[in-house]
Amino acid sequence: MDRTTTIETLILGAGAAGLFAAAHAGGDTVVIDHAKAPGEKIRISGGGRCNFTNLRTAPGNFLGANPHFHKSALSRYTPWDFLDLVGRHGIAWHEKTLGQLFCDGRATQIVAMLMAEAERAGAEVRLRTELVEIARDESGFRAVIETEGRRQELRARRVVVATGGKSIPKMGATGLAYRIAAQFGLPVTETRPGLVPFTFPDRFAPLSGVSLPVRATAGGASFDEAMLFTHRGLSGPAMLQVSSYWHEGEEIAVDLAPSGTLAQALKDAKRREGRKALKTVLAQQLPARLVDHLATEHALSGNIADQSDRAIDALCDSLRNWRMTPAGTEGYRTAEVTLGGVSTDALSSKTMEAKAVPGLHFIGECVDVTGWLGGYNFQWAWASGFAAGTAI
Ligand code: FDA
């Protein structure tokens, strides 16, 4: 074992939240991460362009046992603050839709920015480094870390846990934060995959690749976004969003014609082009491959002129309230986030410090605060990292 080193702050995890906390903590900070590169999830996020925040961020865009906990941190570090930082680093960006901001270039620009900010603040980032054990005594924390076979003891006054959740184990997610919380007697709420595609074995494979705007509803929440059929089931932003509200065994509802104009369009076609097949007219409103599939499910046949207005209304009602029960989700293998986590009851909303364990902070995805799809999860990482970093 190498000589014991005493530092002020040890941050576990060089991801979004950990690096951001390092950028705001005083010097004498060491950040460790077992990965060989920092911010790997940032690098792959937003299709490689990182949807780094959302201008419409509001408390209602987050799930968690306490709907008020995240308000304080989010109000003290806003999307505009992050945008200001991005601007100072000369990173070009654009708004895609619904307030979602993306880099014009690569997501790696955000990683480089965070590394530069952490370095400027005097933090040292040690990669390929594992936490072997951690304990607390009267003088603070004692951590044993291991970098490529070499062990070292660190003594730190504060420890910030920023090791993320369980999503995408292939990218290094370990659930370490929950184990540390349990070790120190802190409650952890039930964790499950969020922002994840639904599985429907053998049902939608022929429709794989078809996409359309829908209104999806599950667990009392509705989202108007695109839905994508995959060979495994249903994905696309609308499905990812409602997956965070869905529980195993529950139904989801899909409105395939959310603009509300389908019935009128079919009745107009009945008057103007009555000899056209119902399927043909429907395919002017919905993707043709989906209409083929629906024609089998709903036994659609005949010309549009053969349909009574009541039959058209009944068909449209069923297309606007298509109910089905997913077999499950693709799980942590592809989930963008982990729902649940370190209970917010145990943390200070101002500093993210455990109330019962002075000096121990939890930030980012490991906390029971989960954002919608659209840049909200990074905004939570920045805001919670800022709250802990500035409190140190
Ligand atoms: P994060 O996962 O970023 O960092 C945790 C760090 O801890 C990692 O570097 C990991 O290696 C390290 N670690 C874990 N266990 C360890 C251990 N035992 N020892 C040492 N180190 C350990 N959000 C968003 O707002 N906009 C977006 O565009 C996207 N896009 C996106 C795409 C994909 C494919 C995924 C999977 C996720 C997203 N997200 C997203 C979600 C976003 O990536 C996520 O919310 C944040 O990265 C969470 O930040 P954290 O710092 O909490 O964890």
Checking if the pLDDT of 299 tops 90, the result is no
Any ligand 1 atom below 6 A from CB of 99: no
Counting Cβ atoms within 10 Å, is residue 23 exposed (0-12), middle (13-18) or buried (19+)?
buried
pTM over 0.95: yes
What pLDDT, in 10s, does the model give residues 165-209?
Answer: 999 999 889 999 999 999 999 999 999 999 999 999 989 999 999
2: left (phi over 0), alpha (psi -120 to 50) or beta: beta
Any ligand 1 atom below 6 A from CB of 61: no
The ipTM value here is: 0.99
Residues of the chain with pLDDT > 90, as a percent, come to 95
Q: What is the pLDDT of residue 3?
A: 82
Any ligand 1 atom below 6 A from CB of 337: yes
| Average pLDDT of the segment spanning 78-98 | 97
Going by the DSSP 8-state scheme, the letter that residue 286 receives in this structure is S
| Average pLDDT of the segment spanning 276-302 | 94
Any ligand 1 atom below 6 A from CB of 164: yes
What pLDDT, in 10s, does the model give residues 259-270?
Answer: 999 999 999 999
Helix axes 262-272, 309-319, angle to 10 degrees: 150
Q: What is the pLDDT of residue 331?
A: 98
Q: Dig out the tokens for 81 from the structure.
A: 């603050």
User: Distance between CA 129 and CA 13 in Å, rounded?
Assistant: 10
Q: Dig out the tokens for 342 from the structure.
A: 């370190």
Any ligand 1 atom below 6 A from CB of 13: yes
Checking if the pLDDT of 1 tops 80, the result is no
Residues of the chain with pLDDT > 70, as a percent, come to 100
Which of 89, 90, 72 lies closest to 23 in space, CA to CA? 89
| Average pLDDT of the segment spanning 114-122 | 98
Mutation to probe ligand 1, out of 11, 41, 178 (largest number of atoms < 8 A from CB): 41
Distance 39 CA to ligand 1 centre (A): 7
| Average pLDDT of the segment spanning 368-372 | 98
